[in-house]
Structure 1
């Protein structure tokens, strides 16, 4: 799955507990409930409330079982049939009851009634689910309802449902039952949820992120004034991954929604510049290249506009509206959406000398605050040095690159990263940590929480219309611009006129053995030492430093403690088990202070938000 999609879905479901829990303990934020809700099986009331404690009727269960079957998309706007004398064709659930009865999942009573308002018992519910899974009376040992209850237990259908025979199903019980149903085996030996197109994760649970993605509608482009056509009242809105409101949507934003979850996802990503390529052909375009970056075309609207029959061709300037997966949703005339980028120059090269004048066309490579590296062509004989901070404005009249004057922000970042001193930080702020020689790392505002930024830590920031920081470029403030590894062995090659002085560093990085090479210089490092290194914009190692070690007396998932001093672990801390002269990648959960002697290594380079533990070495006591 695309990382951007996954990140957004994680923003929705980080509070969900994806473990199965007793139905009595289920709440609307649990993973079980939200997964079943995303599938459209459990639907909220007009206010979006799921009312998990309310008893379920036979008519309601008929609707749920159809939504949990391959017939889930077969119910239209019309009504069903009058199969029973107490279910008229105009009854709200008649179509669902018709399918459930015709498929043999549910039955009526001998007096010709269905009794749609009667509550459903756990044995009736389990019997219905067993029939959908393909199990009939001949597959059960014993009589009703004992045989059905026993088989349901054997298949895991009753897991975390405490009801005994005769117990009435609540909406919470139904959520658990249908969740269990998705992972149960059918009579044919298949996982039921998989037969519907859902997938399971490594733990054998329903993949919630995949369910949300599969039941999502979009992309759509917001109209004038940020108008978004939604068939429901939204209960949650996320804009570029941060909690937001519908009022924050502006014209040309790209949005998606999940009607079952009453949730809207909004994206403002755009790419502007000169179109330099449309492939494979104008007759059937699938990819467009703008500002040196190729983008897949994701909608028929965008494909038409970029085709030989559309209004855009190679050489035109345009703005691409990008969806959550980074594909092109629509294409706008650049005049409708002037685009400004902020970033750092990585390289600049002459491309064409204009005959008869001093003007020089240059291609300038810029890493922007969103982490994308874009190449802009400008028609000015101007120097753009590596490491310089610039703004890039793309308009219908061309591209203008301007060097940025320093603009520093100082103060303490609050606990949730929404303020720096007295300055507010936008929910969708873009932050890039940089060095003057071209190294960079994209970071989140939360990464700076609790940090005090002194003068010079921020190289530049820009404000949006609300006076909030929308873009920020830091000056090596986090330590995240470095790569971290554990040096196992350093070897040197003596210099000569043929071969300059060369250093070879055999390291463990991210669980893999790698070799770093420096030419013309060898950094004096000791074997079996954690080190930091970074590349410059040309791909050569620009610097290398030794990390500081300390004995770990206590280790948690967030901190390493040494004699009362607590140091925070980096999000991607590397843990290695030492065995003799060999090192093997392991995990935090696999080591402890009682069984292992632990040594931590942290960056002590003075970065404001640095000092994180990057490497841990565990050696059996």
Structure 2
């Protein structure tokens, strides 16, 4: 027994000599698929003649040498060639010899005692770990006695082995290497404090994992402005395209779109956002421009080229009619003159006004302005000659520019062949295809909301529902402005009580006690809203004044599945922001669906504004405890 205890203590003592003191152990949180995505973005696995391959393909020692360079701060600075022949089997003519030379000089890899490097031999786990440990700042002096065993112990204690099942003498494939590199990036350096990824300028999320979206943005190249032959300027052949952040194809990208790309991901992102108007102001000055004001809004200049263009040295002047090209972060990355891009902009009138405006030579004059909102939800303020009452909220106007002045025309509303049934996936209406990156706006008076085409799935769209639409070059619907089709701009809650009073002027006033989003409020109007009962209602406001109240229809809930409920065999869809109340002794209490979803304990009633085919949704669910 004493011999067994002694052997155990000796093993513990030996293990302690393998692992440097104060080694931090990282919790395992990510999966292999996520690791592979991150490594793809960073291009770490890209080697001479190969940018991708099967996850089960073996990795050679020559490939691994280049991958180590890609994993380090020396990425993009080390060349593939060298004038030195380091090994008998790696001469200066060997493809990728420069990477092998660099890995050797950094102490990440070693050759064999026979004078060969064996570049085509598959890398083993032990050899890979030796390189990774060196990249993290450790040297042979940090490990006593059996150095290889010490490095393998560190490999385990730092969770560098996450999602890797190979033993030290087994060869690694591409999937193993991707996991090893990811684990290295989120591991700490020799100081056990600094995460290796942060030394390369990469961001971590709250869980200590690499932030994929930030990495994608960091590794993006661009912007470039699409011309007729824009794809020929890319240093790769793209396999995936996005337009306005929606999956698309190459043919959907149009001239003047703003292009970003990732060579590692073989992906292109295109953005079509534009703003047209008169340049009103450059801030803080034309000697050092950082922002400009156009169409009533201020935009940040996103590139050095744009700062130059709007400076005293550039071609753009105050008062010019221009079109801004906006990048992925809504900054200005391009500008077109009136002659280069003469847009005709469609939008809904929100309001009109009169303002004092600065003229030339310091003069001031009164001018009329109309504020529109376009299909992207962007507000545009347009100065025009005429009376402020020439246009009314809700009208559709077209705005174009000629010789630096706005020309406004009213839109002859006609939906034509795009009215009709909308497909179950929201991709077709009335036989007309809806573009993947369609911009849809639902408008109610001066309120509006952007919606995806999926929100309209299964509906019937009448011509009277459509305020405006436009088609792209493929004859697909690219813009759609609707007249309060979804009901999502109304408020939904409980009408608790109503009171009618006569004020001091002998006028009838009505008070409505409501609970909306769990908050009780009382609203007073000079009109009596008749035909409504206490209970669950739809409320429409004009500012803080109630304009209409309508009771909602209800149905008993027999089952719930995600965002859908069933009632007597019929299916209904919940609104994204459905409110749930518990009704107890005639009082309503705001709660959550998870707390009352047990149908053995509660009777649930769904209240909806319209049928699903008309865009209706379940707006309120009321629970009552079963007796």
SS in 2 for 1:430: strand
SS in 2 for 1:237: strand
Cα deviation for residue 123 of structure 1 reads 2.5
2:299 paired residue among 292, 295, 299: 295
1:117 paired residue among 109, 115, 120: 120
Change (3 A) 1:84 1:354: closer
Within-5 A mapping of 1:123-202: 123-137=126-140, 143=146, 145-188=148-191, 189-202=193-206
Q: Counterparts of 1:453 and 1:207 in 2: how far apart (Å)?
A: 41
Q: Which residue of 2 aligns with 1:273?
A: 277
The answer to whether structure 1 residue 508 and structure 2 residue 517 are counterparts is yes
Q: Counterparts of 1:187 and 1:578 in 2: how far apart (Å)?
A: 60
Q: Which residue of 2 aligns with 1:416?
A: 425
The answer to whether structure 1 residue 372 and structure 2 residue 378 are counterparts is yes
Within-5 A mapping of 1:334-483: 334-351=338-355, 361-381=367-387, 383-396=390-403, 398-408=405-415, 409-435=418-444, 437-483=445-491
Does the 8 A contact of 1:345 with 1:385 survive in 2? yes
Change (3 A) 1:417 1:531: same
Change (3 A) 1:351 1:553: same
Change (3 A) 1:353 1:219: closer
The answer to whether structure 1 residue 66 and structure 2 residue 65 are counterparts is no
Does the 8 A contact of 1:345 with 1:387 survive in 2? yes
Q: Counterparts of 2:113 and 2:198 in 1: how far apart (Å)?
A: 36
Q: Which residue of 2 aligns with 1:564?
A: 569
Q: Counterparts of 2:607 and 2:582 in 1: how far apart (Å)?
A: 17
1:220 paired residue among 211, 214, 224: 224
Change (3 A) 1:142 1:444: farther
Larger Rg: 2
Q: Counterparts of 2:625 and 2:181 in 1: how far apart (Å)?
A: 47
Cα deviation for residue 424 of structure 1 reads 1.9
Map Cα deviations across residues 155-194 of structure 1 (whole Å, 9 max, x no partner).
Answer: 2221222223322111111112222222223332233223
TM-score by length of 2: 0.82
SS in 2 for 1:416: coil
SS in 2 for 1:456: helix
Cα deviation for residue 466 of structure 1 reads 2.8
Map Cα deviations across residues 30-73 of structure 1 (whole Å, 9 max, x no partner).
Answer: 43322111011123897964321110011111211221222224
Q: Counterparts of 1:45 and 1:602 in 2: how far apart (Å)?
A: 63
Q: Counterparts of 2:158 and 2:500 in 1: how far apart (Å)?
A: 65
Within-5 A mapping of 1:595-614: 597=602, 599=604, 601-606=606-611, 608-614=613-619
User: For structure 1, which runs of at least 5 residues remain unmatched after alignment?
Assistant: 1-17, 23-29
Q: Counterparts of 1:261 and 1:136 in 2: how far apart (Å)?
A: 34
Cα deviation for residue 607 of structure 1 reads 7.0
Cα deviation for residue 418 of structure 1 reads 2.6
Higher deviation after alignment, 113-122 or 125-134 = 125-134
Root-mean-square deviation (Å)? 3.7
User: For structure 2, which runs of at least 5 residues remain unmatched after alignment?
Assistant: 1-27, 360-364
Change (3 A) 1:118 1:563: same
Does the 8 A contact of 1:36 with 1:42 survive in 2? yes
Change (3 A) 1:19 1:405: farther
Change (3 A) 1:448 1:398: same
Change (3 A) 1:422 1:590: same
Cα deviation for residue 594 of structure 1 reads 6.1
Cα deviation for residue 615 of structure 1 reads 4.5
Q: Counterparts of 1:396 and 1:599 in 2: how far apart (Å)?
A: 63
